[in-house]
């Protein structure tokens, strides 16, 4: 459900969605294969945590824009995400304006 909504928001903003994955283990592989400009990432994923995936993504492509969308609201986690290179962090539930601003902000 959340992926469908996020996809619809991105398309409404004029973005093309290159792909989607359901688990952390496949995320970095898919990003290397699809070479997107932007990755939207959750923290809680099966197989590999979003924090681990973020690290993998930024190691492979430091210029890749990664926006983390999460229900985890903890200052400590936000700091870890920022330290690993998250370009923006959006906490669920979020507004369209919050989403639009984070996605539109330069990396």
Taking only the tens place, the pLDDT of each residue in 26-75 is: 998 999 999 999 999 999 989 899 999 999 999 999 999 999 999 988 89
Confidence of residue 2 (pLDDT cuts 50, 70, 90): confident
What is the per-residue pLDDT for 3?
A: 84
Q: Which residue has the tokens 């469908």?
A: 4
DSSP letter for 14, please: T
In this structure, are residues 53 and 27 in contact, taking their beta carbons and an 8 Å threshold? Answer: yes
Q: Which domains does the chain have, with CATH numbers?
A: 2-104 (3.40.50.2300)
Alpha-helical (H) ranges within the chain are: 2-12, 24-34, 50-60, 75-84, 96-104
Q: 74 is written with which tokens?
A: 């903890």
In this structure, are residues 57 and 27 in contact, taking their beta carbons and an 8 Å threshold? Answer: yes
What is the per-residue pLDDT for 105?
A: 87
Q: Give the Cα separation of 54 and 104 in Å (integer).
A: 19
């Amino acid at each position: 459900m959340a992926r469908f909504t996020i996809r619809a928001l991105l398309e409404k903003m004029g973005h093309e969605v290159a792909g989607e994955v359901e688990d952390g283990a496949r995320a970095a592989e898919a990003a290397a294969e699809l070479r997107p400009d932007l990755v939207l990432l959750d923290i809680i994923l099966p197989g590999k945590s979003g924090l681990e995936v973020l690290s993998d993504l930024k190691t492979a492509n430091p210029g890749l824009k990664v926006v983390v969308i999460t229900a985890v609201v903890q200052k400590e986690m936000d700091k870890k995400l920022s330290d690993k290179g998250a370009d923006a962090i959006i906490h669920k539930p979020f507004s369209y304006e919050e989403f639009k601003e984070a996605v539109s902000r330069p990396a």
